[in-house]
């Protein structure tokens, strides 16, 4: 099946919407959260466990898989789905953010990005054409254009230059496609400047993509600025196509951006925080290393139906984490991903039932602690 998207319902009180993305590897109900599987694996969990948690789609990283083991190797072994034993949809990012984060190891030109591998120091050139070649070889269901992630803060002049480069790269990505089976999303940059965001959207929609992503958010800007830019930008995107907020993942941000009309999200927060002992609960976050949980018989969250909460106490989880046992990372990750998947499912149901406004009110009424500490 070729890629398509349909809006099934809308909230009467907000801009939240219920939808479904169709891909060759199955459907994705939206709004959806995408766990990050950088190296073709969501750290510590098997594909079967992800399916059991209700994960619909995972994200793999073009930059990392290009460097190791190499997209050619993965292509010879049947593509990324077969390589990682995952038969549901896969989104691959372009590597633009990784290039952004490796500022001391790269040089940007009109042609592309020349960078030094963080693994062995070898030098590589990543062009828009190369990014599409890599992603098509991987066999991803949703590909992303190469873009330059504008840092924060940046002047308007710097942001405009960066935006023009991203637009040119987007055009070249579109022109270099050789297959039609995968979707290609354009990425809207423009920093914190609304006029540049609007300009970027107009340029990208003239090129024409299967979906559009908000880039350059959650890169150090104040939360209020991020939400303000999102509130301005989202209504300007084509309504019939999916809207994707890249790298946004705090539960409060998910609720706010769903309310503004976002369909897709990805973030390392549930997995990375799990490995650091931070667990998400309805009232905020729980830091399992705290001494108060040394003899606590309760699960992470009373009423949670995840495997971790059904079988293990806070005391046991704290013991594993303090002992640096690998099982700690697995059990913590299971709970956090379940929390995020459940949050998205509850939002979809609230939109379906016409009560998203009430859901949002109830969500915030439970957020009594952003962090549960000693």
Angle (deg, nearest 10), helices 251-259 and 223-233: 30
Per the annotation, the verdict on 93 as an active-site residue is: yes
The four Cα atoms 206, 151, 60, 243 give a dihedral, to 10 degrees, of -40
Apex CA 209: angle with CA 89 and CA 143, to 5°? 35
Could you say which of 141, 147, 210, 266 is catalytic? 266
Per the annotation, the verdict on 141 as an active-site residue is: no
Q: 275 — phi, psi (to 5°)?
A: -70, -15
Could you say which of 93, 141, 210, 263 is catalytic? 93
Rounded to whole angstroms, the Cα distance separating 372 from 365 reads 16
State the catalytic residues.
Answer: 93, 266
């Amino acid at each position: 099946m070729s890629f398509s998207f349909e809006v099934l319902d809308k909230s009467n009180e907000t801009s939240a919407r219920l939808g479904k993305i169709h891909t060759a590897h199955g459907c994705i109900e939206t709004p959806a959260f995408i766990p990050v599987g950088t190296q073709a694996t969501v750290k510590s969990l098997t594909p079967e466990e992800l399916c059991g948690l209700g994960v619909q789609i995972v994200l793999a990283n073009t930059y990392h898989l290009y460097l190791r083991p190499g997209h050619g190797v993965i292509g010879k072994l049947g593509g990324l789905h077969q390589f990682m034993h995952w038969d549901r949809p896969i989104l691959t990012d372009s590597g633009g953010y990784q290039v952004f984060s490796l500022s001391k190891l790269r040089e940007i030109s009109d042609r592309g990005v020349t960078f030094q591998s963080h693994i062995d120091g070898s030098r590589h050139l990543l062009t828009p054409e190369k990014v599409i070649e890599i992603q098509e070889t991987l066999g991803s269901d949703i590909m992303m254009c190469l873009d330059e992630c504008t840092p924060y803060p940046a002047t308007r002049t710097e942001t405009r230059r960066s935006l023009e480069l991203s637009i040119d790269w987007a055009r070249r990505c579109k022109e270099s496609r050789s297959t039609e089976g995968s979707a290609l999303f354009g990425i809207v940059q423009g920093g914190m400047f609304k006029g540049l965001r609007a300009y970027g959207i107009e340029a990208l929609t003239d090129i024409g993509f299967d979906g559009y992503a908000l880039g350059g958010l959650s890169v150090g800007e104040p939360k209020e600025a991020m939400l303000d830019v999102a509130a301005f930008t989202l209504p300007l995107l084509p309504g019939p196509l999916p809207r994707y907020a890249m790298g946004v993942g705090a539960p409060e941000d998910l609720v706010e951006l769903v309310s503004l009309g976002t369909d897709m999200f990805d973030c390392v927060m549930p997995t990375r925080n799990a490995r650091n002992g931070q667990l998400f609960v309805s009232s905020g976050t729980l830091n399992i290393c705290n001494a108060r949980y040394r003899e606590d018989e309760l699960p992470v969250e009373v009423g949670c139906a995840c495997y971790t909460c059904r079988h293990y106490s806070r005391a046991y989880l704290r013991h594993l984490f303090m002992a640096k046992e690998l099982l700690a990372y697995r059990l913590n990750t299971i709970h956090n991903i379940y929390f995020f998947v459940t949050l998205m499912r509850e939002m979809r149901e609230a939109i379906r039932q016409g009560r998203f406004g009430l859901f949002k009110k109830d969500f915030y009424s439970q957020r009594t602690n952003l962090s549960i500490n000693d």
